Structure formats: C-alpha cells, structure tokens
Amino acid sequence: MAIVVALVAITLLSLFREPERQKFNALLIAGASATYLSGGLGVWEFTFCATMTALAYFGFRHYYFIGTGWLLHVGWDVMHHLYGSPIIPFLPTSSAGCAVCDSLLALWFFCKAPSVFTWFRK
C-alpha cells in the first residue's frame, strides 16, 4: 500500500508546473517534519523539525535538499517504528509503511521530480 501511496503522491505532485512544484515540495517537507512532534522521542523531535526546516529552506533552490529531507524522514520513520509512536496511532506499522513511501519520494526528488505526465508524451 505504501508504494501505491507514493505513486499517487508523485502523480498528484506532477500536476504542479515548475517552479511551483519545487516550492510546494519544499514546504511539504517542512510540514512533514512536524508529523511526529509528540511521537515519544522528546527533545529530538524538535531537533529533527529544525533540521528539516533548514532543508526545506534550501529546497527552494535545489531538489537535492528536498530528497535529502525525505531520506532523513525515512530514518525518523524507522526510529518511530522501533522506539516511538506510530505516525497513525491505530496502525502500529504505519511508520514502517511511511518509510517505504518516503524512500520512493526521495528517489523521485533526487531525479529532480520530473512530471509523470511528460513520461507519457514521449
């Protein structure tokens, strides 16, 4: 299911034209950093959020920082799966699923987030 979520997200994000796609995704990783703020890892939650905010800021200039932010989020998903609270409280493996989804998103961003709609035009 996590792969399907990633593919749907990439398709929906492809609807944005550049440079709005990059700007929106930079904001998206800043918001994603706050999903675990009360997830059971204490002060580290705030440290992670501050780091992701910095990556989001630099993500306005280059997709590399957005991809790096999603990779850090993968690590945070794994930490929460093993030691903290799941991202969706009533789904114990939701953080593990999020790690899979976020890995695919990171890969897409490292490829500079091409629109899936241009793939079909070729």
Q: How confident is the model at residue 121 (pLDDT cuts 50, 70, 90)?
A: low
Per-residue model confidence (pLDDT) at position 77: 92
What is the predicted pLDDT for the residue at 114? 95
Q: Determine the structural domain holding residue 89 and report its residue range.
A: 2-11+20-121
Average pLDDT, the chain: 92
Look at residue 4 and give its three-state secondary structure: helix
Number of domains making up the chain: 1
- What integer pLDDT is reported at residue 47 of this predicted model? 92
From residue 95, alpha-carbon distances to 40, 60, 107, 111, 120 in Å are 13, 27, 18, 24, 32
pLDDT at position 109 over 90: yes
The mean pLDDT value for 114-122 works out to 79
pLDDT value at residue 115: 94
Which range, 46-50, 70-74, 118-122, is most confident? Answer: 70-74
Residue 120 pLDDT > 70? no
Instruction: Measure the CA–CA gap between 54 and 30, rounded to whole angstroms.
Output: 8
Phi, psi of 90 (to 5 degrees): -95, 5
Per-residue model confidence (pLDDT) at position 84: 85
**pLDDT tens column, 29-65:** 999 888 878 778 888 989 999 999 999 999 999 999 9
pTM (predicted TM-score): 0.90
